[in-house]
Structure formats: structure tokens, C-alpha cells
Amino acid sequence: MILIDGKITSGDIKDEIAIEVAKLKEQGGRAPHLAAILVGDDGASQTYVNAKVKACEKVGFESTLVRFSAETSEDELLAKIEEMNNDNGLDGFIVQLPLPNHINEHKVTVSINPDKDVDGFHPTNLGKMLLGQETFLPATPYGIMEMLKRYQIETSGKHAVVIGRSHIVGSPMSVLMGQKGIDCTVTLTHSRTKNLPEITKTADIVVVANGIPEFLTGNMVKDGVVVIDVGITRVEDKTKKSGFKLLGDVNFAEVSKKASHITPVPGGVGPMTIAMLMKNTLLSRKRRG
């Protein structure tokens, strides 16, 4: 079994980005600038945003963190987005999800200028992805594609089963796995899928993103399968300093015995997501000249 190490791979990608940024600066250019908007004080969201800011420092980007209280109105948030859309010193920005219930997530997503939407959630960018055009790919699926590439996983003609159909992971993942050049035969499964174990047992590659800890068990996969675990669930653990541990959507102990390649949690898809956000920001900086 080969462990697909997202920590090492994302470190390599960040090193590559840092070299490009250093070159840009040497030539008298401006460093890429990424901003993040955080609304409220959700613990997991704060951790993710802090990790993104830290990654910016590591690759030599400028970063800005804008914090709003959980009571901030939708109008206030939209006004900030408009300001960022028009800020020429900013190459990209993200609004950390989830948002408080009184704010319409879709309205926020579509208000972001697609040219600065480095999360790749805007319908324009998702449409371009569907057409196979160059765009900002959603960071998590982009990170998974990069891991498959760097670990030289054979995809052509393989059966890929994606579990979960969210707009940010499962659905784009199913599109990318079926694209020309990747050439998987894709089955997209979800909460209404019948006989899921029968389907996963025929999979050469399984991408699990349904947010149910240790959902994929050993008896659901065949020998030699490639398993990508997207899930991150915080589960109380009093033995940890933080008071919780992170669980993936895969029963690692069971599935790793049968898999040819598998991602761990933590240290798999998570760090890749951040590295690809950096890559999208660098792409935006280059596009803007």
C-alpha cells in the first residue's frame, strides 16, 4: 500500500510556487495578493482561514484577513465584496463557508468577480470547468487531481466512484474524472443511491466526500483500489490538547489493507486544498499581468 501524502505533495507545490513568486519579485513585479473574508467565529472555519494565511506567508504572497461578526448583514458583506472586486491590488479572495443562516450563500458566491474567484465556486468558473477551459478549478477537486497525477495513478478507462454530490467537492470531482485526458468512467453516488457497496466494489478509484466518519469500510472495496478520503469531521477526544480529533470518511484501518494507494486524514486532501488555492491565486496574478 502506498500512502498518498498530501503534506509532502502540498509542500512540493508550495515550494514550486515560492520559486515563481521570488522570480516575479526579482523582475520588479508585485507579489500575488490573496484576501479571505471570515464571518462569525466557527472554530473549524477559523482554523482553515489561519492555515490559508500561513500558506500565503510561506509562498511569499501578500495576504489580508477581513473579519466580520456573525451578526453582520448580507448587505455589509456584499458591499465588502464589491470593494474587493474593484481593488486592483488584490488578485483573488475567498469568502470562507459556511456563512450564518441569514446570509444567502448563493447570492454571495455570484457577487464575486469570476476573475478573482480563486475558490472556483462562481457559476462562470464552474461552467468553464465543464467545458474543459482554463479556469480556477475548485481547490479540493483540483488538489485531488494533482495528487493522482503526481502519484502517477492510471486513470484512463478506470471506473471512478465518487461518493457525495456537493457543489464544492463531489459534483466537480465527477466532472474532472470524466474529462478528456483523465478518461475515467464515472459513477456519482449520493444519499439516495441504492446498493452503494455493490457499486463501490467495482471501483478502481473511490473518492469519498459525504462527511460521514469512517463510512467506507473494507468490505465495500476490491483489492488494489485507489482511495481518496475527503472527509474531515471533528470528533471529541479528551486525550488531545485541542479536545478533538479529525476523522475521515474512510475506515482507514480496514480499507488500507486492500488499497494500492490511499490518502490519510489528516495529512491527505486537506493540505492539498490550501496549496491549490495558492496555485489559483498565482494564476490570477499572472493573468492580471
Residues labelled catalytic: 52, 96, 119
Contact criterion met (CB below 8 Å) for 277 and 264:
no
Contact pick of 104, 111, 217, 233 for ligand NAD (by CB under 6 A): 233
Per rule CB under 6 A, is residue 270 in the interface with ligand NAD?
yes
Per rule CB under 6 A, is residue 63 in the interface with ligand NAD?
no
Per rule CB under 6 A, is residue 140 in the interface with ligand NAD?
yes
Contact pick of 174, 189, 263, 280 for ligand NAD (by CB under 6 A): 189
Return the closest-CA partner of residue 113 out of 93, 134, 89.
93
Min separation Cβ 32 and ligand NAD, Å: 21
Tell me the per-residue interface mask from 7 to 36 with ligand NAD, x by CB under 6 A, - otherwise.
------------------------------
What is the per-residue burial (b if ≥16 Cβ within 10 Å, else e) of 134-159? ebbbbbbbbbbbbbbeeeebebeebb
Min separation Cβ 269 and ligand NAD, Å: 4
Choice between 31 and 199, CB closer to ligand NAD: 199
Give SS3 for 194: coil
Contact pick of 95, 148, 163, 226 for ligand NAD (by CB under 6 A): 163
115 exposure class (CB count in 10 Å sphere: 0-12, 13-18, 19+): middle
Per rule CB under 6 A, is residue 166 in the interface with ligand NAD?
yes
Per rule CB under 6 A, is residue 124 in the interface with ligand NAD?
no
Q: From the CB of residue 179, how many other CB atoms can be counted at a distance below 10 Å?
A: 15
